[in-house]
Amino acid sequence: MFNLISINFLSIKKARHICLAFFVTATFNCHLVMADNIDNIRYPETLWDGQVLKKLLSGPSYLDKNIEFDLPPQAANSSKETQDELSLLKKYAREERTEEQIKKILTEAKQGEFSEIYLDEGPFEKSLRDATYRILKFADNEIVYFIVHYKKRFSRPRPSQLLPDLELVVPNPGHAAYPSGHATQSMVYSKILSLIDPTHEDTYIKYALDIAKRREIAGVHYPSDSSTGQLLAGKLVQVLNQEPEFKRLLNEAKDRYQNNK
Q: What digits encode the pLDDT tens for the residues 164-187?
A: 999 999 999 999 999 999 999 999
Asked whether residue 43 is domain-assigned, the answer is: no
Number of domains in the chain: 1
In Å, what is the CA distance from 99 to each residue of 42, 108, 169, 191, 215?
32, 14, 11, 29, 15
Q: Which candidate, 186, 183, 213, 230, places its Cα nearest to that of 101?
A: 213
pLDDT digits (tens, 9 = 90+) for 189-211: 999 999 999 999 999 999 999 99
3, 111 Cβ separation under 8 angstroms: yes
Asked whether residue 185 is domain-assigned, the answer is: yes
Which residues make Cβ contacts (< 8 Å) with residue 237, sequence separation at least 6? 188, 191, 192
Residue 208: per-residue pLDDT: 98
69, 32 Cβ separation under 8 angstroms: no
Asked whether residue 227 is domain-assigned, the answer is: yes
pLDDT at 113 over 60: yes
In Å, what is the CA distance from 86 to each residue of 78, 92, 217, 223?
11, 10, 11, 9
198, 244 Cβ separation under 8 angstroms: no
- Cα 173–Cα 221–Cα 165 angle in degrees, nearest 5: 85
1, 181 Cβ separation under 8 angstroms: yes
33 forms beta bridges with: 20
pLDDT at 18 over 70: no
Mean pLDDT over residues 243-252, rounded?
Answer: 98
Mean pLDDT over residues 90-115, rounded?
Answer: 95
Residue 256's CATH number:
1.20.144.10
pTM exceeds 0.85, yes or no: yes
124, 136 Cβ separation under 8 angstroms: no
pLDDT band at 10 (very low <50, low <70, confident <90, very high): very low
Q: Which domain holds residue 129?
A: 48-260
Specify the amino acid at residue 19. Answer: C
Asked whether residue 102 is domain-assigned, the answer is: yes
What is the C-alpha to C-alpha distance for residues 54 and 33, in angstroms, rounded to an integer? 24
Specify the amino acid at residue 196. Answer: I
Asked whether residue 180 is domain-assigned, the answer is: yes
Asked whether residue 174 is domain-assigned, the answer is: yes
Write out the DSSP string of 125-172.
-HHHHHHHHHHHHHHHHHHHHHHHHHHHHH-PPPHHHH-TT---SSPP
Mean residue pLDDT of the chain comes to: 88
Mean pLDDT over residues 28-48, rounded?
Answer: 70
Helix-then-strand count for the chain, H and E: 10, 3
Asked whether residue 137 is domain-assigned, the answer is: yes
Asked whether residue 10 is domain-assigned, the answer is: no
